[in-house]
Amino acid sequence: MASYFDEIAKNRMKTIFLFIIFGALFMGLLYFLIWYFGGSTLVLIIGLFAIVLYALFSFFMGGKLILALSRAKEADPKQYAQLYSIVGDLAAANEIPMPKVYVINDPNPNAFATGRGKKAAAVAVTTGLIGMMNNTELQGVIAHEISHIFENDIQYMMIAVAFAGAVGIISVFVRNLFFFGGRNNRNGGLLMLVGLVIGLLAPLIALLIRLAISRSREYTADANGARIIRNPQALASALTKIMQYEKNPASTPVQHANEITANLYFANPFKARSVLNMFSTHPPIDERIKRLKAMY
């Protein structure tokens, strides 16, 4: 058994630890490139500047783009009065402004939160989720999404994507220097081989860290959502229904989800599952249910 607060603290520490590893990977790769291979600092700065521009674009326009890509439409307050009431009550409980509410016409039971911060956030739910969940279960799912907003998870993931992009750019430089040579060729073939291995493996390691951060934030949002409504069983029940839906051969993935938006969803929006959990944006549903049922 674990309390909400123990689970939240554990996953927050895990996220911090993963970001420290991310930073160490980035700085180590940067050091290796500049000092051992004599890489072009100017080109590197241009590449990193492109990453900063991408991060700024994601911050200011990412939410609108994600809603557009997902075919989300702003919900009618009269038609979805219950949904508005739940979102408003949970936002007030967390002392954050009321997020905008969107609905996606899709039979897959799912939801996500997006936006550039607590004062400019949005919650989107599918029609499949609204139709499948009872009021208590819907509260649990919305509490999970409100937690993402409250914990600034959208910004966390933006930073993770920017880190991964920067590592990818530097890795390309390292691989190119292996093939075309650098100022420090006198250091020998072994060092060049090390450079090639780093250039090939670093992007994969960055991807694994980014996915691990995404899974950690999902566990945190589960625990925080359960704490908000003081009912982990409601969230566990919602996940159980989603798991049963996914096992149905007639079930469909979220129609307009893609690799960019996948990590935002309440549950993995794709029908196909990774053989290895380390390559998944979400923890296994059965493990999420197990942790929720053990909370108090």
Q: What is the pLDDT of residues 118-173, one digit of tens each?
A: 888 999 999 999 999 999 999 999 999 999 999 888 777 777 777 777 777 777 77
Confidence of residue 206 (pLDDT cuts 50, 70, 90): confident
Confidence of residue 287 (pLDDT cuts 50, 70, 90): very high
Q: Going along the chain, which residue ranges are E strands?
A: 72-74, 100-104, 111-115, 121-126
- Whether the pLDDT of residue 187 is over 90: the answer is no
Q: Is 145 a catalytic residue?
A: yes
User: What's the confidence (pLDDT) of residue 58?
Assistant: 62
Name residue, tokens 């998944």.
Answer: 280
Q: Are 111 and 129 in contact (CB under 8 A)?
A: yes
User: What's the confidence (pLDDT) of residue 227?
Assistant: 92
- Whether the pLDDT of residue 35 is over 70: the answer is no
| Catalytic member of 7, 137, 145, 151 | 145
User: What's the confidence (pLDDT) of residue 38?
Assistant: 55
Residues of the chain with pLDDT > 90, as a percent, come to 44
Joined together, the tokens standing for residue 247 give: 């096992």
Confidence of residue 26 (pLDDT cuts 50, 70, 90): confident
Cα 21 to Cα 10: distance, rounded to the nearest angstrom: 17
Cα 72 to Cα 68: distance, rounded to the nearest angstrom: 6
> 59-73, 85-99, 277-291 — which is least confidently predicted?
59-73
Confidence of residue 295 (pLDDT cuts 50, 70, 90): confident
